[in-house]
Amino acid sequence: MAMRQGERVTLVQMGRGQSGIVVEVLGGKGLVRRLGALGIRPGKRVTKISSAFFRGPVTLRVDSAQLAIGFGMAGRIVVEVDKELPPSRGR
Amino acid sequence: MRILLMGNPNVGKSALFSRLTGTHIIAANYPGTTVEFTRGYLRWGEEHAEVIDVPGIYTLEPTTRAEEVAVEMLKAGDLVINVVDATNLERNLNLTLQLLERRVPVIVALNIWDDARHRGIDIDVARLEKLLEVPVVPTVGVTGEGVKELVRRLPEAAMHQESYATSDERWVRVGDIVSQVQSLSHRHHTWYEVLEDISNHPLGGVLIAVVVLLATFFAIRFIGESLINYVTAPLFEWLWTPLLMKLSLALGSGGFWHSILIGNLVDGRIDYFQSFGLLSTGLYIPLAAVLPYIIAFYLALGILEDVGYLPRLAVLLDTFMHRLGLHGYAIIPTILGLGCNVPAVMATRILESRRQRFIAATLISIGVPCAAMQAMIIGLVGQQGGEYVAMVYGSLFLSWVVVGLILNRTIKGFSPELLIEVPPYRLPPWRVIGEKLWLRVSGFIREALPIVLGAVLVVNVLYTLGAFDFVAGVTAPVVSGLLGLPREAVIALAVGFLRKDVAVGMLAPLALTPGQLVVSCTVLAMFFPCVATFVVLARELGWRDMLKASGIMVVAALVVGGLLNLLL
């Protein structure tokens, strides 16, 4: 389900292969810090690689690192998705 | 002089540590391989400097318990080698800047340098050095490239206290440095990345997992079986048996020393599974029956670890593991448990909450038989037919799941979600795989062989003294009534506390039916951890939780054993 341009969605709602800029992490200080240390903080560009079946983890790329984030946590990361459609298999 | 190796998880600290100190430790391609501090020594001028491999951390503002411990460690260090993953400069430099805020000299090892070049990441080392005002040395931990240079420049490690008011301010500085030193060039998709793409795809990931796990299973089976049939069993038969037979004659084919050293002759011959002497079964179990499977298992595990497959399996199994009160990463200690439960219980430290660690450790002790025990189960139960081996494994797996479901509903506390870095696939050099295999196999021989011999000795002495008759009499209602086993089987269960492989071996002379073998092996696996695991459980969980876990094991073993007895 690709989102339209500039729309704010959570990582869970983002489409596979879609990129965007992290806007906000909805959570306590601990979560914000933990995700921040791994590179997920406002202003960072992330690309969603995949999500697993049955509310499984979301996999995404930040810089050259690949992270897997539990479904609930991924739902608290708000991303402003890119204008252009994602390239077919880009990274 | 105390040197700390610090850096993000999975940046190659342990490989570099081995290179620096010549002390070999287990390294693998997943975050959290190192859960304990390891010490080694390095020549520093005239004296020896202590080098400590600190578990990986993302930040000095601790967010997990492992990080708290690492930060604590920092206070006791005289010098920090900050190991930085060159392929992930930004995130790694954040920790570097935090380290530079402390009153400790720092030198940077820009590790995984080879991979960075392959990925088209170019880093201006001289410029980075100038900006950080500490030495920066490119290194490749797994091959040792750059390590000499790192050691040569250790004395140049510098302290330069710069501080940032907020973490945002620090991130800005990191971004500034990265933009000045790093340039990315386009390069082609490597076939690793194609594989990564496939295993990231939900369906592709499942297919790869099935293929990988089946291939691993058959490879272990094939290597283990071949080593036994063509190497260890013939060696014992041709070289050792004639010597033992001579000794047997010299001892007069009977008597106290004969029964201790050689054991009982079966039809006038030595039967390595049944004789149960120190020099017959005592040596045969660890060296001929178990060692081949230890080699096969750890070879396969080493490859899976270093290629970087295990975190992907963790992602795939995350949803399922949540039902057991865990998350996907708990699969790593579980898989380690198929080798030996001791490092497995220690590896539960990679889980965030106490609740998760308790559930994971309990489930490993109940449903995950170690390689030594599995080798004996395959050897002994396999003689009756593969379906019986499958019954043992099936019962253990089901127990693992059911106990997990129950614990998830009954244990209070919090189980956080999965948050891990998935490492890139890497093709490990065979030498590295070989060294790790040797480390684990020699560890098995050093640690297991004496305990196996001790267990056989104790069993023989107690038999001679008749001590078991009493125990067998007292426990007969449970062992015979509930589990349907001959009363002597209780001795095997008791010996399971020392070594589970010896315990399975003790079932051989009892002439059990296939059904009884399934019951006894399953109960033996679940009933109680061996003494080594017992000690580690107490250390990791505390005595109270360890006793709680043990209680769960006993109850689960008796319930499952009783049910199997009714069914078979």
Q: Do B63 and A71 touch (CB under 8 A)?
A: no
Position A61 pLDDT exceeds 90 = yes
Is there a contact between A54 and B319 if contact means CB atoms under 8 Å apart? yes
A75's CB contacts (< 8 A; 6+ apart) are A10, A11, A12
Residue B441 to residue B435: CA distance in whole angstroms: 10
The distance from CA B3 to its chain's CA centroid, rounded to whole angstroms, is 26
Q: How far apart are CA B191 and CA B188, in angstroms?
A: 9
B183: which chain A residues are within 8 Å (Cβ-Cβ)?
A: none
Q: Does the beta-carbon distance from B419 to A49 stay under 8 Å?
A: no
Question: Which of B277-282's residues contact partners 24+ apart within 8 Å by CB, and which partners?
Answer: B277/B456, B277/B460, B278/B453, B278/B456, B278/B457, B278/B460, B279/B244, B279/B247, B280/B244, B281/B456, B281/B505, B282/B452, B282/B453, B282/B456, B282/B457
Measure in Å the smallest separation between the Cα of B64 and chain A Cα atoms.
Answer: 9
Number of A to B CB contacts under 8 A, please give it: 97
Structural tokens at position B57: 């951390």
What is the pTM (predicted TM-score) of this model? 0.89
Q: What is the pLDDT along chain B (568 residues), one digit of tens a residue?
A: 899 999 999 998 988 998 998 877 777 777 777 777 788 898 887 888 999 999 889 988 876 667 778 888 898 899 999 999 999 999 999 999 999 999 899 999 999 988 888 888 999 999 999 999 999 999 998 888 999 999 999 999 998 878 888 888 999 999 999 999 999 887 666 777 777 778 777 788 889 999 999 999 999 999 999 999 999 999 999 999 999 999 999 998 888 889 899 998 988 899 998 889 999 999 999 999 999 999 999 999 999 999 999 999 999 999 999 999 999 999 999 999 999 999 999 999 889 889 999 999 999 999 999 999 999 999 999 999 999 999 999 999 999 999 999 999 999 988 889 999 999 888 888 888 898 899 999 999 998 999 999 999 988 888 888 878 888 888 888 888 899 999 889 989 989 998 999 999 999 989 899 999 999 999 999 998 899 999 999 999 999 999 999 999 999 999 999 999 999 8
The distance between the two most distant Cα atoms of chain B, rounded to a whole number of Å, is 84
State yes or no: pLDDT of A89 exceeds 60. no
Choose among A57, A63, A73: nearest Cβ to B315.
A57
Phi, psi of B64 (to 5 degrees): -130, 170
Give the residue on A whose Cα is nearest the Cα of B174. Answer: A39
| Secondary structure class of B144 (helix, strand, coil) | coil
User: What DSSP character marks residue B350?
Assistant: G
| Residue B429 CB neighbours (<10 A) | 12
Average pLDDT of chain A, as a whole number: 85
| Chain A residue with minimum CA distance to B62 | A34
Burial of B134 (0-12, 13-18, 19+ CB in 10 A): buried
Q: Which residue of A has its CA nearest to B415?
A: A70
Mean pLDDT of A46-53: 87
Q: Do A37 and B91 touch (CB under 8 A)?
A: yes
Burial class of residue B477 in the structure, from the number of CB atoms within 10 Å of its CB (0-12 exposed, 13-18 middle, 19+ buried): exposed
* Amino acid type, B491: I
- Inter-chain contact B88–A89, Cβ cutoff 8 Å? no
Q: What is the DSSP letter of B266?
A: B
Distance between A58 CA and the closest CA of chain B, angstroms: 9
**Predicted local confidence at residue A87, as pLDDT:** 53
Give A68 to chain B, closest Cα distance, Å: 5
Pairing of strands B2-7, B47-53: parallel
Q: Find the Cα–Cα–Cα–Cα dihedral B190, B191, B194, B198, rounded to 10°.
A: -150
pLDDT attached to residue B90:
92
Task: Closest CB to B420: pick one of A49, A55, A68.
Answer: A68
What is residue A2's DSSP assignment? P
Q: How far is CA B86 from the centre of its chain?
A: 28
Task: Name the residue among A29, A32, A14 with its Cα closest to residue A71.
Answer: A14
**DSSP annotation string for B475-540:** HHIIIIIIT---TTHHHHHHHTTT-HHHHHHHHGGG---HHHHHHHHHHHHHH---HHHHHHHHHH
pLDDT at B424: 87
**Do the chains contact at B314 and A66, CB–CB below 8 Å?**
no
Residues 164-223 on B with a CB inside 8 Å of A are 167, 171, 193, 196-197, 200-202, 205
- pLDDT for A91 equals 40
Cβ of A41 and B171 within 8 Å? yes
CB contact under 8 A, B419 and A38: yes
Pairwise CB contact (< 8 Å): A64 & B328: no
Which residue in the set A59, A89, A91 is minimally distant from B422, CB to CB? A59
* Pairwise CB contact (< 8 Å): A52 & B205: yes
pLDDT of the residue at A90 = 41
